[in-house]
Amino acid sequence: MSNTYVVRGEGGKFSKTFKEGGFVAVGWFGKGSRSEFDLTMATSRSYVKEMLEKENYSNASARSIGLATGMNYRFINEIKVGDTVLSPTYNNKVMIGTVTSECYMEKNDGFEAFLRRKVDWVDDIDKTLLSDDIQRKLYCNLTFFSVDEEIDMDGLYGLDDNEETKVFDKVEEDCVNDECGEYTYFMVSQTIPNIYKIGKAKNVESRQHDLMKDNRYGLFNLKTKGWIKIKDPYRFERMFHLYYQRYRLSTKNGLKVDTELFQTDKDLYKMWTDFVVNNYLSDEIMKDEIIEYQFD
């Protein structure tokens, strides 16, 4: 039975290299430890950890070392010939290929990631053709993982299969792309603790004013904490509605109406801003998707 894995190439930065070279690669090692790395020893997780710590991970946290160790170790030892690899690229596309070799090392072609597996790349497809579950997991910023595993990074990943995916209220449900406006906003209730709202608007200030007159939302006295002007506000908002669905106030959770409100003692606003910073503003490729932004 074959398995399916995701190997991220820094938001598509390395997609061309992967495709033209007919491989997929990982490797978070300094130059010295990389030159000394012995693949025959890498069946030992402790050996992989030791080599990671030798240089560039010497001052990293235990969690970072653990994540890097696990991903390198699994890439070397877990993937099998015949398994499927997905690698996200530009323009919401995903490269799909079949693994054709065991793990090997390539240290002399100048490409930093030297732990590799040969791949027969078959096609590039639109992400929307993949299952909802896989689409959600593709937003995970881990470099390497199996699509079959449950991913739960501070509550952002791995929604239950039986959770409904239609999460928009009627006001914004009928909007599509340009008709919805360019801004994705994040609001917080001023009257009831731990209540949040995420939505789209052509004008955030006007949207906040309109919500005060809505019977479902007026009670909460929502105030804008932050907003971003992004090239695809529809997709961005939908992504976070899916992430936060378990916290949604809706008929599914005993209310008489469906809303776009979320209630939890987790700091959803920090999760939201951290995601924007780490996956867009700090990424050389994805930062161009953000036109402007404002965080409280």
pLDDT (tens, 9 = 90+) of the chain, 296 residues, equals: 678 899 988 767 888 899 999 999 998 777 677 788 999 999 999 999 888 887 666 666 777 788 888 899 999 999 999 999 999 887 678 899 999 999 999 887 778 889 999 999 987 888 777 777 787 777 676 788 888 764 433 332 222 333 333 333 333 333 333 333 478 999 999 888 899 999 888 889 888 888 887 766 777 889 999 999 988 887 788 778 777 877 888 766 565 556 778 888 889 899 899 888 988 888 888 888 899 999 98
3-state class (DSSP) for residue 96 = strand
Q: Which residue intervals of the chain bear CATH 3.10.590?
A: 4-146
Cβ neighbours of residue 30 under 8 Å, at least 6 residues apart? 54, 55, 56
Contact 48, 76 (CB under 8 A): yes
Alpha helices in the chain (DSSP H): 15-21, 31-36, 45-53, 62-77, 132-138, 170-173, 204-212, 233-243, 268-276
Cβ neighbours of residue 181 under 8 Å, at least 6 residues apart? 175, 200, 201, 202, 203, 233
For residues 206 and 174, what is the distance between their CA atoms, to the nearest angstrom?
19
C-alpha atoms less than 13 angstroms from C-alpha of 43 in its C-beta half-sphere:
2
User: Starting from the edge strand earliest in sequence, which strands make up the sheet with 290-295, in order?
Assistant: 261-263, 195-201, 183-189, 222-230, 290-295
Residue 71: closest CA among 118, 4, 6: 6
CA dihedral sign, ordered 226, 270, 136, 25: positive
Provide the pLDDT for residue 253: 57
CATH fold of 4-146:
ph1033 like fold (3.10.590)
Question: Which residue has 């991913």 as its token pair?
Answer: 151
3-state class (DSSP) for residue 184 = strand
